[in-house]
Structure 1
Amino acid sequence: MELRHLRYFAVLADELHFGRAAERLAISQPPLSVAIRQLEDAVGARLFERNSKQVRLTPAGQALRASARKLLRQAEEAALEAREVAAGSAGRLRIGFVGAMLYRGLPQALRRFQAGHPAVRIGLAELNSAEQITDLLHDRLDLGFMHTARLPAELQSRLLLSEPFVACLPEAHALARRRRVDPAALRDEAVVLFSRVASPDYHERILAICAQAGFLPEVRHEVRHWLAVVSMVAQGLGVALVPQAMQRCGLGGVVFRPLQGVTALSETYAVWRPGPQNALVEGVLRALRQLRPAEAAKPVTTEGDDDGNESLQ
């Protein structure tokens, strides 16, 4: 049984006239008669009673009519959905993200994208970079936002934004009164650090900033999320170096200060596995580029005093 046979049957069931049905279908009458006979052979029952004067549905034909229309409607909907997915206007997107993306415009970008693509179903999962890579490789995610460009060959990536690191300090800390902080001033401080397991790149980049300043930090606490880093600093459990975007997290009890003489940047990558979802992926990336926070696009630069640590007055 072919969809073509069902379509011919449905039109003939409406018209009950081979000539008019053939005209609607833009075919000649003999192919229509052949198709109906083939359908009856496939079903195993006569669907029409026909003579020189009229064409009537048999009880079997009447029973098939509703089902045929339902199947044809489902086929049309399936084809439409396939076209919409190919065009990026429908489908499902499973997105992984590191927590800092909440402060880099991701929620606003997704709202914008969803407003223009109401038929797209979006699911979000907060995962570290390593977890996202695993899920992308196993087809559990379509798109990830992470902090590493060290990826398996099966994945593609795009640098989304770069931003400076800043010092995150308890608001009562002596360094909190400075307009900017020399990393060397953190030499004797307890440090809250992003876990190496959660993001080796971030862990190593922060250690490199400290090494450039001439010391190895005393790491008291390692956590898996940037919000946890800032929360622990707010509780007075140490200081931290965090991406500038975390200034927008809204937690009280902390201050953020630019770092003096530091050129290392926090980099965020969009990562995906090439495949049929690329139209949707590209749509989200376009929305995110439009809403990227301007202040995250370049490092903060300030002029300092003689010691490089101008105090707030």
Structure 2
Amino acid sequence: MELRLLHYFVTLAEELHFGRAAQRLFISQPPLSVAIRQLEDELQAQLFERSSKGVRLTAAGEHLLERARQLLALSRQAAQETQDVAQGTRGHLRLGFVGSSLYRGLPQALALLQQSHPQVRVDLLEANSAEQVLGLQQLRLDVALVHSTLPPEGIASQLIVDEPFVACLPQGHRLRRAADVDLADLKRDRLILFSSLVSPTYHQRIYEMCLAHGFAPEVRHEVRHWLSVLSMVSLGLGVALVPAALQRVGLPHLAFKPLRGAHPASEMLAMWRREPDNPLVRALLHYLQQEALKLDQAVKTSRPSR
């Protein structure tokens, strides 16, 4: 059944007068009569009884009226929801993230997205960078927050956070009272490192930082998550080089020290498929950058002047 015919039928059922119904529909009376006859022929049922006294619904017409109103309401709702999704005010966003993003503005960005897009549902999946990139390629994720890595073909990327690494030391470490740490001073320590299988870029970056300071680190433990790195350091199992954002985690028995000199940065990138364009991804990226900037400014403000 055409929605146009149902619309004509409902209007006539409400007016029970061809002239008034045609006026409401902004058409002349003959096309309305033709449309009603077409609908009756399609349904093989008489919907109206016509007489010199007027028009009234048959039993079949009364039954159809409720269903027709429901169908028209559903069609209007579907049209509105489709427009909302296209404009990014409604929909479903599947977001992958690495654990460190929880301390790099992700919770605040999600809160802002929920405020501005209350009809959007966000599903969260914590996964390592390689798993998230695969999720994007297999259409299981819409956007991914990953450690520094090269995006594959068809995947766009945007830098969200660029911050220094800091030395993470256990509470009883010999350098715990130092203002800063020379990386070479850690050459006798056991290093707890992010797994090369999980994030080869981070693993290689930290390893090369140590080599640039004259030593190959003694790696005793490789783990999959930054929180595992911090937990193992807090237990006194070694030291680590971690993104500065992880100072906000609040685990006990840890000391964080800036590294002396120039070093490669710790980066977090957002990645998403280039096609099709997703306005929800654009909205989330806006809030992520906004919150990352706030955190960066807060860090700069809190640094003591020299």
- Please indicate the TM-score interval, normalised by the length of the shorter structure: over 0.9
Distance apart, 1:151 and its partner CA: 1.5
Q: In the comparison of the two structures, how many residue pairs are matched?
A: 303
TM-aligned CA distance change 1:263 to 1:231, over 3 Å? same
Aligned pairs for 1:53-202 (under 5 A) are 53-202=53-202
Aligned pairs for 1:22-41 (under 5 A) are 22-41=22-41
Determine the structure 2 residue equivalent to 1:224.
224
SS at match of 1:161: strand
| Per-residue Cα deviation, 1:235-292 (whole angstroms, up to 9, x for no partner) | 1111000000000011111011001123200111111113456211111111122211
* Long gaps (5+) in structure 1: 305-313
Moved more, 283-292 or 205-214: 283-292
Distance apart, 1:295 and its partner CA: 5.1
Q: Do the aligned residues in 1 keep the contact of 2:148 with 2:266 (CA within 8 Å)?
A: no
Q: What is the CA–CA distance in structure 2 between the aligned matches of 1:244 and 1:36, rounded to whole Å?
A: 72
Residue 282 (structure 1) aligned with residue 282 (structure 2): yes
Determine the structure 2 residue equivalent to 1:52.
52
Q: Do the aligned residues in 2 keep the contact of 1:163 with 1:297 (CA within 8 Å)?
A: no
Determine the structure 1 residue equivalent to 2:43.
43
Aligned pairs for 1:241-256 (under 5 A) are 241-256=241-256
Q: CA RMSD in A?
A: 1.9
Determine the structure 2 residue equivalent to 1:272.
272
SS at match of 2:168: strand
Q: Do the aligned residues in 2 keep the contact of 1:245 with 1:296 (CA within 8 Å)?
A: no
Q: What is the CA–CA distance in structure 2 between the aligned matches of 1:276 and 1:91, rounded to whole Å?
A: 15
Q: What is the CA–CA distance in structure 2 between the aligned matches of 1:288 and 1:212, rounded to whole Å?
A: 33
Q: What is the CA–CA distance in structure 2 between the aligned matches of 1:132 and 1:112, rounded to whole Å?
A: 23
Q: What is the CA–CA distance in structure 1 between the aligned matches of 2:255 and 2:299, rounded to whole Å?
A: 21
Q: Do the aligned residues in 2 keep the contact of 1:164 with 1:243 (CA within 8 Å)?
A: yes
**Percent of pairs with identical residues:** 55
Q: Do the aligned residues in 2 keep the contact of 1:142 with 1:277 (CA within 8 Å)?
A: no
Residue identity opposite 1:254 in structure 2? L
Distance apart, 1:7 and its partner CA: 1.1
TM-aligned CA distance change 1:301 to 1:259, over 3 Å? farther
Q: What is the CA–CA distance in structure 2 between the aligned matches of 1:13 and 1:265, rounded to whole Å?
A: 71
Determine the structure 1 residue equivalent to 2:296.
294
Q: What is the CA–CA distance in structure 1 between the aligned matches of 2:65 and 2:152, rounded to whole Å?
A: 53
Moved more, 252-261 or 32-41: 32-41
TM-aligned CA distance change 1:94 to 1:56, over 3 Å? same
Q: What is the CA–CA distance in structure 2 between the aligned matches of 1:183 and 1:91, rounded to whole Å?
A: 47
Q: What is the CA–CA distance in structure 2 between the aligned matches of 1:25 and 1:276, rounded to whole Å?
A: 38
Residue identity opposite 2:133 in structure 1? I
Determine the structure 1 residue equivalent to 2:7.
7
Residue identity opposite 2:70 in structure 1? K
TM-aligned CA distance change 1:115 to 1:137, over 3 Å? same
TM-score using structure 1 length: 0.92
Q: Do the aligned residues in 1 keep the contact of 2:104 with 2:161 (CA within 8 Å)?
A: no
Determine the structure 2 residue equivalent to 1:307.
none
Q: Do the aligned residues in 2 keep the contact of 1:209 with 1:262 (CA within 8 Å)?
A: no
SS at match of 1:49: strand
Q: Do the aligned residues in 1 keep the contact of 2:98 with 2:129 (CA within 8 Å)?
A: yes
